[in-house]
């Protein structure tokens, strides 16, 4: 397959990774790879919050959204489930 499809390397700014890229090149990065650093064994979410400043804000926004969705699902389930008093009376 390698002889049929040419493989090209992308410039560094297309895949910035803390393990092999310097901090000054992060400014021009088009994508940031939150790869595991074998030297530090730092968890990915901890590294993400440190490497990408807006990560914490985005993460909190997603958590709030998930909480609202869960509340809506719980409310919908409660409305569909008859209360024990309704069930006993045959409603």
List, in sequence order, every residue forming a beta bridge with 33; answer none if it has no partner: 17
* Per-residue confidence (pLDDT) for residue 84, from 0 to 100: 64
Q: Which of 12, 16, 15 is nearest to 26 (CA)?
A: 16
Average pLDDT of span 72-86:
78
Residue-wise pLDDT tens digits, 22-52? 999 999 999 998 888 788 889 888 999 999 9
Give the confidence band of 90 by pLDDT, cuts at 50, 70, 90.
low
Helices 55-80 + 44-51 axis angle, to 10: 130
pTM beyond 0.75: the answer is no
Alpha-carbon Rg for the chain, nearest whole angstrom, is: 24
Mean pLDDT value across the chain: 85
Nearest to 32 by CA among 8, 70, 68, 58: 58
**Bridge partners (DSSP) listed for residue 17:** 33
């Amino acid at each position: 397959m390698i002889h049929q499809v040419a493989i090209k390397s992308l410039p560094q700014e297309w895949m910035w990774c803390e393990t092999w890229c310097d901090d000054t090149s992060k400014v021009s990065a088009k994508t940031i790879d939150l790869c595991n650093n074998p030297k530090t064994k730092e968890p990915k979410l901890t590294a993400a919050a440190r490497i990408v400043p807006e990560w914490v804000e985005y993460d909190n926004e997603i958590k709030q959204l998930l909480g609202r969705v869960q509340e809506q699902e719980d409310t919908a389930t409660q409305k569909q489930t008859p209360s024990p008093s309704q069930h006993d009376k045959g409603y």
